[in-house]
């Protein structure tokens, strides 16, 4: 699953997609819109109510192939909802701020966490990983019941603590399974949880890579020297070869740089504290885009297209690269990746990046699998950036896809004004407030920071009120 998170309070935005490109979910405040690619009906858009301001989402497939959505946010709980039971979206009935969960779609709701949830990811069937606003990461292990519902694993604590940062996370990413080089795909011993890399990056510029599920094993910090910029986006370069020696990750920063990191998957290197399996394989910044008003990297997406050649091993050759969306820019860039001839390592091409123009600046971009990525623009318009290969070169263009037309119409008609004023980084880019100056009281739950009330519940207080001095 691929996801983006933006905003804090009014105008909060969360977007995710299925890696095969068959579904996209978009949530503004509490209302979740899901577009489904259906061969019978080209425009299928359903609506779910998350019951809270949603900060993170991820898709989940049930054993019977039903599509479910996992979400978490300011209500401090994890919810799993059945998309197939959701009602069709009505362009005239969206109710932003509705705090009621649709029980007809609810499969599971966790007990309240202690802090607001900021990021959500799903891996290994029904395992939910999430982070809270204090930078702590937890696991919620779910199992499918004999019927159609979900429950906690019998031997599982409600929220299992995994790791901690000392400031709010800006990026939260779970990699694909790490292959066991020379040991077969199952590893030396049977393991119900395949090894993965868990990237957790915080607003203090720490970029930590932990070995999951043994998250106490820190594989590496990507940067240890100053100055360094906050990490705002991560994408894994997908590989056709299962038993691959190297994995590659594109990392976007707030200062506009995109870095390519190569990780050694050799058994002796993964999780070994005495080694540094990650090495930089090139960096990129598009000066023209930055001088035209572009700022931080919003999203990075790996995209590839068949190049029409077949190697002797029977593998289809791919032309691949990284799609980059910048805050404030009116285009998406495509940077080509090249093999450097050293056993599967990739590097950034020295050629100029391809530029794909947009109607308005992007707000989020998620991959749709293979050669496509969906871009949500500030105007509310939803478009697709698609790669093509012809005459020995790669091209990129913006197009409309019929199954996303209904979603685009809804976002333009109902959410355009709200999206236009959304700050994509305000969830973590805010000023620290002295808790001694907080005003005690209850206010709208969609604004400001947590405030303790007499009954012990944490509610939100407008930022202006929080900054008043106590008299």
Per-residue pLDDT of 412-469, as tens digits, reads 988 888 898 888 888 887 766 666 665 554 444 444 444 343 343 443 444 344 344 3
Q: Respond yes or no on whether the N-terminal peptide bond of residue 213 is cis (omega within 30° of 0).
A: yes
Residue 19: is its pLDDT beyond 60?
yes
Predicted TM-score of the model (pTM): 0.84
φ, ψ for residue 320, nearest 5 deg: -135, 160
What Å distances lie between residue 435 and 443, 461, 463, CA to CA?
17, 12, 12
410 neighbors 33 (Cβ within 8 angstroms)? yes
8 Å CB contact between 284 and 353: yes
Residue 237 DSSP symbol = E
pLDDT band at 70 (very low <50, low <70, confident <90, very high): very high
pLDDT value at residue 379: 94
pLDDT tens-place string over residues 234-246: 999 988 777 788 9
Q: Token pair for residue 352?
A: 């100029």
Taking CA atoms, 195 is separated from 213, 278, 334, in Å, by: 7, 16, 30
User: Residues 72-87: what's their mean pLDDT?
Assistant: 92
Full DSSP string of 347-369: EE-SSPPEEEE-SS-EEEEEE-S
Query: Exposure pattern of 202-222 as b/e (b: 16+ CB <10 Å)?
Result: bbebbbbbbbbbebeeebbeb
Whether the Cβ atoms of residue 142 and residue 153 lie closer than 8 Å to each other: yes
pLDDT in tens, 147-174: 678 888 876 667 899 999 999 999 999 9
pLDDT on residue 296? 92
- Identify any residues that bridge with 205 across adjacent strands, giving them in sequence order: none
- Distance between CA atoms of 133 and 114, rounded to whole angstroms? 10
Residue with the bigger pLDDT between 310 and 45: it is 45
């Amino acid at each position: 699953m691929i996801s983006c998170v933006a905003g804090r309070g009014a105008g909060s935005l969360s977007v995710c997609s299925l890696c095969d490109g068959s579904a996209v979910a978009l949530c503004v405040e509490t209302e979740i819109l899901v577009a489904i690619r259906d061969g019978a009906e080209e425009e299928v858009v359903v609506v779910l109510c998350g019951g809270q301001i949603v900060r993170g989402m991820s898709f989940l497939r049930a054993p019977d192939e039903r599509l479910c959505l996992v979400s978490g946010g300011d209500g401090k709980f994890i919810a799993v909802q059945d998309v197939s039971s959701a009602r069709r979206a009505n362009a005239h009935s969206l109710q932003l701020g509705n705090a009621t969960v649709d029980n007809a779609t609810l499969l599971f709701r966790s007990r309240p966490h202690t802090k607001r949830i900021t990021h959500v990811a799903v891996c290994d069937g029904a395992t939910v990983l999430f982070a809270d606003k204090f930078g702590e990461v937890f696991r919620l292990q779910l199992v499918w019941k004999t019927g159609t519902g979900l429950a906690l694993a019998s031997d599982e604590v409600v929220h299992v603590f995994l790791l901690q940062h000392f400031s709010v996370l800006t990026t939260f990413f779970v990699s694909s399974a790490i292959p066991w080089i020379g040991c077969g795909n199952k590893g030396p011993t049977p393991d119900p949880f395949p090894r993965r890399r868990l990237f957790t990056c915080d607003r203090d510029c720490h970029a930590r890579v932990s070995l999951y599920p043994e998250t106490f094993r820190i594989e590496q910090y990507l940067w240890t020297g100053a100055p360094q910029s906050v990490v705002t986006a991560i994408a894994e370069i997908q590989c056709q070869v299962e038993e691959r020696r190297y994995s590659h990750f594109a990392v976007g920063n707030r200062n506009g740089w995109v870095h390519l990191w190569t990780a050694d998957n050799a058994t002796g290197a993964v999780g070994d504290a005495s080694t540094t399996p990650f090495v930089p394989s090139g960096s990129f910044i598009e000066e023209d885009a930055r001088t035209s008003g572009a700022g931080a990297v919003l999203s990075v997406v790996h995209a590839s297209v068949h190049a029409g050649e077949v190697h002797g091993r029977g593998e289809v050759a791919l032309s691949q690269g990284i799609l980059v969306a910048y805050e404030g820019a009116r285009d998406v860039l495509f940077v080509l990746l090249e093999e450097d001839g050293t056993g599967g390592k990739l590097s950034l091409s020295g050629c100029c990046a391809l530029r794909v123009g947009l109607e308005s600046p992007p707000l989020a971009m998620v991959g749709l699998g293979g050669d496509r990525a969906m871009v949500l623009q500030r105007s509310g318009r939803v478009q697709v950036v698609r790669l093509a290969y012809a005459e020995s070169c790669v091209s990129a263009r913006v197009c409309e896809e019929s199954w996303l037309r209904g979603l685009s119409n809804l976002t333009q008609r109902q959410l355009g004004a709200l999206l236009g004023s959304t700050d994509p980084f305000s969830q973590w880019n805010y000023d620290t407030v002295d808790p001694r100056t907080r005003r005690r009281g209850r206010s709208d739950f969609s604004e400001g920071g947590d405030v303790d009330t007499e009954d012990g519940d944490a509610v939100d207080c407008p930022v202006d009120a929080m900054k008043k001095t106590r008299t």
